[in-house]
Every structure is written in structure tokens, then in C-alpha cells.
């Protein structure tokens, strides 16, 4: 068995930092508590029109993965079709990947409900804060970001997964001009009796013209009736099968994509993608990589 040299033994490991990345805890008027805003900015002059930008919900869980995916691919644009851009991730002042209580409020469409606490002796879980969260992004966060880096307002993308995917759809249905590209991964369309589908219907009633935007929906292979192999034969197999029939993530996302594909303009794009071998949580890195490829593809 080898031993470290005395020189290496004296070296103290240091925290890892991501080059080009910063964060700030900001208190917005449309929020009761601060949000942690993560930013990646390329270390080079911006294009004349400004940088394309990718906004991520669930920022703590998503930011580093998206930045790594961008750096690797933007370093070889001829082979990847991905160019540099800005990534902004909206998270919370925690070292955990999620703040379940706050994301339940921020990412769920109104009117919302009150649910029992996640854990004993913690607050009730409130939903329905999506309108305030969208206003925060549009009226407070975007102007602040534009003070940090020049942004191409015609190339703004919103990404969300799960509750974030639901929020992405809500934002699209209520403020379709806020972004030009929308990426909804494993959206919780079933949430609160699929109330989001009523919002979709109301939106479509008022928009008969072709939609000039890009919408990408996705889900993992094991978010439908097919269970992951490691769940088969377990004590929770039946419970998971019943849950899958309730959430119908693949089915609802694919159906929505098919409806919107009929409405897309000649320059619009609507797609659905099923990721092989992925479950609701493992799909996140795959979906983030696709988000980078969509949001930051080279300008033609």
C-alpha cells in the first residue's frame, strides 16, 4: 500500500469553484424571502446583439450540470452546433439541491391549495405562487440580469423539470412573449386535477393565429406505464404502477405536444422526446443537456 508523500500530505483540499460562475442572494418585491441567482457568463466579448440566455428553475439542482454541458459543447461549435451564452438559474439560499417548501409555492400555478407539512413541526405546504414568480422573473430578475451582461432579448429560453416543467407551461400560456423557446421536462400536468389544461384551453381560445415559438416537451421512459427494472418485483411495485396511471407524465406531455404542433407557424417548432432508460429524477441531466442544445444553438 502506497502512502502520500509528506509534501502532498500537507496539502489541504480547497472548495471547488466553477469558472465564469457567480451567485447572489437577492430579495425581490414579488417574493417573501431571498432567491439565490446563479449566473454563468462567457469570458469573452458578447456578440453585437447580446448573448442568448437560458433561464433555469430549480437552480440549485440544475446550474452546474447545465454549465458543464455548455462549456464542453461550446468549445467545439462546429461539431455540436452549440455556441456560448449566458445561463441563469433561479434557486434558494441552501446547499441542498431543492427547497421543497418554496419550490412548491413558486412553481405551481394559481389558485393553489394548502397541503399538510412535508415533515412534522414544519409549515403547511402552499401552492399557487406561479403568477408572483413569473412577475418576479419578468419585472425584477430580467432587468437585473441585463445589468450584469448584454442579452439578446429575441433569444431567451425557459427550462423547467417536474414542477418546473409545469411552471414553464403556465408561463407559456399566460405570457407567451416572455421567451422564444420553452423547454418543459417531465411536466406535472396532472397536478391539482390537471388544472393547467384548462389554462391551455383558455389560451388557445384566444390565439387562433399560428404560434411562432419553439416548444420542447420530454419525459423519461420510466415515467409512464413501464416501470424501471429495479422497481419490478419489489414491495412498492404495485404502488408505483398505480401512481404512474395517475401522473401519466409521458402521455400528457406527448398529447400536449401533438396539440401544439398543429398550431406552430412555419418557423415554429414543437417536439416531444422520450428519453430511454430514464426515470423522473435521472432524466434531469439528460433534459438539461438538451436544453443547452436548444437554447444556445448557433445562430443561423
The string of pLDDT tens digits covering residues 289-299 is: 999 999 999 98
Lowest mean pLDDT among 10-19, 52-61, 288-297: 10-19
Mean pLDDT of the chain: 95
- What's the pLDDT at 248? 96
Share of the chain above pLDDT 90, in %: 87
Active-site option among 200, 214, 223, 278: 223
Q: What is the mean pLDDT of residues 251-266?
A: 91
What does pTM read for this prediction? 0.96
- What's the pLDDT at 9? 78
Active-site option among 104, 162, 184, 186: 162
Residue 210 has pLDDT above 90, yes or no: no
Is 162 an annotated catalytic residue?
yes
Q: What is the mean pLDDT of residues 161-165?
A: 98
Is 223 an annotated catalytic residue?
yes
Residue 208 has pLDDT above 80, yes or no: no
Is 2 an annotated catalytic residue?
no
Q: What is the DSSP string of the chain?
A: -----HHHHTPPP-----TTEEEEEE--TT-SS-EEEEEE--SSPPPTT-EEEEEESSHHHHHHHHHHHHHHHHTSHHHH-B---EEEEEE-SSSSS--HHHHHHHTSPSS--EE--SSTTSPPEE---HHHHHHIIIIIIHHHHHHHS-EEEEEEEEEEETHHHHHHHHHHHH-TTS-SEEEEES--TTHHHHHHHHHHHHHHHH--SPB-SEEEEEEEGGGSSSPPGGGTTSTTHHHHHHHHHHH-HHHHHHHHHHHHHTTB-TT-EEEEEEETT--TTTHHHHHHHHHHHHHTBPP-
Amino acid at each position: 500500500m502506497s502512502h502520500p508523500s509528506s509534501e502532498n500530505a500537507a496539502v489541504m483540499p480547497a472548495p471547488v469553484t466553477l469558472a465564469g460562475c457567480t451567485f447572489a442572494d437577492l430579495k425581490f418585491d414579488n417574493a417573501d424571502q431571498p432567491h439565490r441567482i446563479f449566473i454563468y457568463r462567457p469570458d469573452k466579448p458578447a456578440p453585437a446583439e447580446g448573448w442568448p440566455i437560458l433561464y433555469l428553475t430549480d437552480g440549485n439542482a440544475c446550474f452546474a450540470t447545465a454549465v458543464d454541458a455548455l462549456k464542453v459543447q461550446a468549445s467545439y461549435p462546429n461539431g455540436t452546433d452549440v455556441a456560448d451564452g449566458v445561463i441563469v438559474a433561479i434557486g434558494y439560499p441552501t446547499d441542498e439541491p431543492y427547497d421543497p417548501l418554496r419550490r412548491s409555492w413558486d412553481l405551481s400555478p394559481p389558485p393553489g391549495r394548502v397541503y399538510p407539512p412535508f415533515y412534522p413541526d414544519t409549515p403547511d405546504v402552499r401552492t399557487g405562487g406561479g403568477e408572483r414568480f413569473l412577475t418576479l422573473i419578468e419585472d425584477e430578475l430580467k432587468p437585473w440580469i441585463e445589468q450584469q451582461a448584454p442579452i439578446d432579448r429575441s433569444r431567451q429560453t425557459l427550462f423547467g423539470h417536474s414542477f418546473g416543467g409545469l411552471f414553464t407551461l403556465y408561463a407559456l400560456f399566460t405570457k407567451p412573449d416572455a421567451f422564444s423557446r420553452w423547454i418543459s421536462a417531465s411536466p406535472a400536468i396532472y397536478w391539482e386535477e390537471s388544472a393547467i389544461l384548462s389554462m391551455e384551453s383558455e389560451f388557445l381560445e384566444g390565439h387562433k393565429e399560428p404560434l411562432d415559438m419553439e416548444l420542447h416537451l420530454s419525459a423519461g421512459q420510466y415515467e409512464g406505464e413501464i416501470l424501471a427494472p429495479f422497481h419490478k418485483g419489489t414491495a412498492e411495485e404495485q404502488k408505483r404502477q398505480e401512481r404512474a396511471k395517475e401522473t401519466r407524465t409521458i402521455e400528457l406531455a406527448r398529447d400536449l405536444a401533438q396539440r401544439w404542433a398543429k398550431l406552430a407557424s412555419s418557423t415554429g417548432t414543437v417536439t416531444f422526446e422520450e428519453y430511454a432508460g430514464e426515470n423522473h429524477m435521472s432524466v434531469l441531466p439528460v433534459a438539461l443537456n438538451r436544453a443547452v442544445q436548444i437554447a444556445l444553438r448557433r445562430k443561423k
